[in-house]
Structure 1
Amino acid sequence: MKVESFHMPSIVSDLDLYYCGVEVVERFFTCGPHIRDRYLIHYIIGGSGFFDCHGRRYRVGGGEIFAIFPGELTYYETDPDDPWTFCWFAFGGRRSKEMLQRAGISHDVPVRRVHGGDAIRGYVELLNETLHAYPSRDLPAARIHGALYDIFAVLELSYLASRPAMPAKADAADYVGKALQFIETHYQSPISIKNIADYVGLERTYFTKQFTKATGESPQQYLIKYRIDQAQRLLSTTAMTVGQVGKSVGIPELAYFSRLFKKVVGVAPKQHGLRLQAERRGAGR
């Protein structure tokens, strides 16, 4: 028995769902070798099997996850004498690396036991039901994003509970998390990277290094992409002019805003707006 749903986000956000599912696999189930272009996490509800990655073989059973990173060659199979029941979800987005880091999941540690992991199945089933219940253009994004964050909350809390008690000390993930919150709260203002570094309490060069290592993007790149993401949202949901949108996302200079928008999206904001209008007219026919 297999239930699977697919989703193609229209705008890149902090955490995006691409597909998810639940399956009771057959005795001789195998998958791969494959290379994925999305992050993919399987949670084992019951049964046991094997996950091959980076030349290593992991035995994975009930209550554990295994994670696949984009570009990795992986293979997995169930134990025919104890077949898996598992659920999975594929995701991406700007905060993917940070969320995985907070959950203690990495290339070196792709398999982890999850305390309270049965809740993950409920969230995946909720995602499945949501994707089946709504036409693609009317999907409740807040429910999808909320379920993904709930899953990562389970993973993160389990990881924190498994770590030995340590003296209170902020690590890189704490600094990066604070920086992301600052950007999301203040992107409409003329903030600088020094403003962000000062807020988290780090020297600018060191902060930039830690942020880039955790997210794969420099703070400046992340801030620009976040602002342009919000600009796309405004262009698609409001009647604001291009100049008004630029000011609303913290880039008041029209020419500079248009140049950045085209660099990130591939077309100028005016062309993007016209394309969205044409798509809406087509959808209304």
Structure 2
Amino acid sequence: MGTVCNDHAHFYNDPAIFEKVIPMSNASYSTKTIVHTPSEMAKTFLFYVQDLGWFECRPDYRIRRTFFPYSIRYVIRGKGYGVWRGKTYEVGPNQMLFLDLTEEHEFYADPDDPCKIYWVRFGGMQTADYHRLLECDKNPVLIARNARLTRQLFEELFALFEECTPGFEVMASSHITRILTDATITHMEGNESPDGGASLQYPETVHQAIRYIKDRHQEAIKIEDIASYVHLSPSYFSRLFKRATGCTITEYLIKYRLRIAKELLAGTEGSLGEIAQTTGFCSQSYFSKMFRQFEDMTPFEYRQSIRMDLAFQT
């Protein structure tokens, strides 16, 4: 069974159906909720929506609950507070609260500036991965890089589940992916530009580290060497680098060396031992091991595949 839609659409305006309001009062907020039963196809392959909508809080709005699975609340205007694992987080315009609803949480409006929120409750195979990637266990508040686009994506989500056109679940999954991708890029950048939008570059210390790796990839490089170069402690720098790039320093170094190695495999007749030495791997066997681990083939197989491709093109 799917969403009840078109002229049979049913919008639940009674907040008690999904939310326990503290104090229990129909005056605490106004809302529209669109309910949906996801298809088996959506639950297997996609981000699948269970319900979504908007609500506009009044000053006394407050909820406390657990639920399943995940939700994103995007603040359009005003201000609210999320209580998560004993800490309170302020959520303002163009910010999102991304929560694992299996854990108890609380949300309440700022009494002096109550908020209007777009929200979606969803699941899917990659949802927990995004939650971990965005480090929401530490801080569930995210920033959208593009306020206009994020609002548009939510409003298009509402329209998809109201109209139920062919392929609407696939389109909805795509919209959620775009929302999460936007938040992930902002999270990786780790800083904001002066006008309030997210900057389009890595932090300078990460840029310096990447230049260091590229300039010295043929040498034996330790994390401590790079951290010292950018004047940070190894532990702090490691966290900063992973947040910005999505991978550890060691992984980044290996991938960069493999990138150079692939160019040499494709464009030269150098032996595997020569290429391993040129790209900074300590031995041919370690080079081959890392190549297979990251590329799912051996260096020899990669060289052969490239040459076969070139042969077909000539």
User: What's the TM-score, normalizing by structure 1?
Assistant: 0.55
RMSD: 2.9
**2:168 is the counterpart of 1:140:** yes
1:127 Cα offset (Å): 1.1
Per the alignment, residue 35 of structure 2 pairs with 6
Per the alignment, residue 51 of structure 2 pairs with 19
What does 1:62-211 align with in structure 2 at a 5 Å threshold?
A: 62-102=93-133, 104-134=134-164, 138=166, 140-162=168-190, 164-165=203-204, 166=206, 167-168=209-210, 171=247, 198=292, 200-201=294-295
4+ residue runs over 4 A deviation: none
Unaligned runs of 5+ in 2: 1-29, 192-202, 211-244, 252-290, 297-314
Unaligned runs of 5+ in 1: 176-196, 203-285
Distance between the aligned counterparts of 2:100 and 2:57, measured in 1? 22
Paired letter, 1:2: T
1:7 Cα offset (Å): 2.0
1:77 Cα offset (Å): 0.7
Paired letter, 2:47: L
Aligned length: 178
* 2:75 aligned counterpart, secondary structure: strand
Paired letter, 2:124: G
Cα deviation, 1:162-220, whole Å, max 9, x if unaligned, reads 25242446617xx9xxxxxxxxxxxxxxxxxxxxx936359xxxxxxxxxxxxxxxxxx
1:95 Cα offset (Å): 0.9
Higher relative contact order (CA 8 A, sep 6+): 1
Cα deviation, 1:124-162, whole Å, max 9, x if unaligned, reads 111111111127xx5523211221112112212222232
User: What's the TM-score, normalizing by structure 2?
Assistant: 0.50
Sequence identity of aligned pairs in percent? 18
* 2:32 aligned counterpart, secondary structure: strand
1:2 Cα offset (Å): 2.3
1:44 to 66, 75, 92: 75
1:76 Cα offset (Å): 0.7
Distance between the aligned counterparts of 1:119 and 1:101, measured in 2? 24
Distance between the aligned counterparts of 1:29 and 1:106, measured in 2? 24
Cα deviation, 1:43-64, whole Å, max 9, x if unaligned, reads 1111112111111112221122
* 1:127 aligned counterpart, secondary structure: helix
* 2:108 aligned counterpart, secondary structure: strand
* 1:62 aligned counterpart, secondary structure: coil
* 1:82 aligned counterpart, secondary structure: coil
Cα deviation, 1:6-28, whole Å, max 9, x if unaligned, reads 22222222422222112222221
Paired letter, 1:155: A
For the Cα contact (< 8 Å) 1:49–1:78, is it kept in 2? yes
For the Cα contact (< 8 Å) 1:16–1:145, is it kept in 2? yes
Distance between the aligned counterparts of 1:145 and 1:89, measured in 2? 12
1:96 Cα offset (Å): 0.9
Distance between the aligned counterparts of 2:145 and 2:88, measured in 1? 22
